[in-house]
Amino acid sequence: MSLLERRLLRETSFGLTGKLWRVPWTYVMLLCLLAGVGYVALYSAAGGAAEPYATRHVLRFAFGLLLMLSIALMDIRFLARLSWFAYAGGLVLLVLVLRMGHVGKGAQRWIELAGMQWQPSEMMKIALVMALASWFHKATWERMGNPLFLIPPALAVAVPVVLIVKEPNLGTAVITAAVGASVFLAAGVRWWKVGLGAAAVGLAAPLAYGHLHDYQRARITTFLNPESDPLGAGYNIIQSKIALGSGGMWGKGYLQGTQSHLSFLPEKQTDFIFTMLGEEFGLVGGLLLLGLLALIGLGAMGIALRCHHQYGRLLALGIGMNFFLYVFVNVAMVMGVIPVGGVPLPLVSHGGSAMITVMVGFGLLMSVHVHRDVVFDDGLDEA
């Protein structure tokens, strides 16, 4: 499609009806299907009752769906102009949560807004992707090769990561850094430059270990040897492995999981919900769920590849990477592949702020798809 044709498309076809036709409704149905899996799982987590998890899950998803579609219809260029304002707002919330946030389980990660508890660190990941996409959208190859040009976006990643570590929330901090690094690579930053940053973090890890909280060091020790404290720090992961293994090939049947329904499995409605599904539906059910999650992740990559402007490509890739890391960390955690951390399974686990944040991200992704052919007035769009 030529630049002239795209300008004509922008002027003639981007009314509300035209935008609704361009919404990827098949992708929306995949998200609805995933939320439906969440309802089934949370109904089981409550022992075969809609309260207190499943009903709230549906209501939150319905609100999130409306929010997602509203964002999808917003002009992507308007959203691009808001990118750094969203980032600044995220930083303000991260500072506020350190000063007046709610303390729970030894961490200060939540702040109350509009009658709900929110995790600013989750919202910060989306705002960071928007800011980095805005920065690199106007970058030429010559500017990308200038180390000074990379200092502001590097600081944009480092500042929220440090604030999130101070909560403390080491898992989310690592995911935030990884999402930022993925946008750097997608923008064309050389691998060796990102590798240098990763190496610096790796060299600092032994020094940082001494400053970790006791429960964080216990998670690492438990990851290396869960049997060292089977009734204490190692209890969660041991029970998770028992539940997954007992599910076998086809599972024990819906509402028939013994580890979960006899309360051996901890946090079955949030962090360990994949384990509960694995026990009830077995290896086959777990693989089907992973297949659905993979389709959603690959769909995000497809939207990025079909976009004709750099801002949309980077935004879609960053949101897709954030979704992938949500899934990878949660599933790997319950299998004992990585240390246990408080990362939910998106659109399946119980939790309000996580769901709304994920749906805002998908709304931005939909806006990229709807406005994939628009022309930014900066002269850097592809012809």
Residue 295 CA from chain centroid, whole number: 15
Q: 382 pLDDT band (50/70/90 cuts)?
A: very low
In the numeric block, which tokens belong to residue 347? 């659109």
Contact yes or no for 267/333 (Cβ under 8 A): no
Report the distance separating Cα 225 and Cα 367, nearest Å.
Answer: 46
Query: What pLDDT digit, counting tens, does each position of 290-323 carry?
Result: 999 999 999 999 999 999 999 999 999 999 999 9
Q: Are 365 and 316 in contact (CB under 8 A)?
A: yes
pLDDT at 106 over 60: no
Taking 3-state DSSP, the helix, strand and coil percentages for the chain, each rounded to the nearest 5, stand at 70, 5, 25
Residues 6+ apart with CB under 8 A from 192: none
pLDDT at 250 over 90: yes
Helix (H, G, I), strand (E, B) or coil at 65: helix
- DSSP 3-state assignment of 7? helix
pLDDT class of 235 with cuts at 50, 70, 90: confident
Q: What percent of the chain has pLDDT over 70?
A: 81
Who contacts 267 (Cβ-Cβ below 8 Å, separation ≥6)? 236
Cα dihedral sign for 112, 113, 117, 118? negative
Q: Which of 14-23, 90-99, 208-217, 325-334 has the lowest mean pLDDT?
A: 208-217
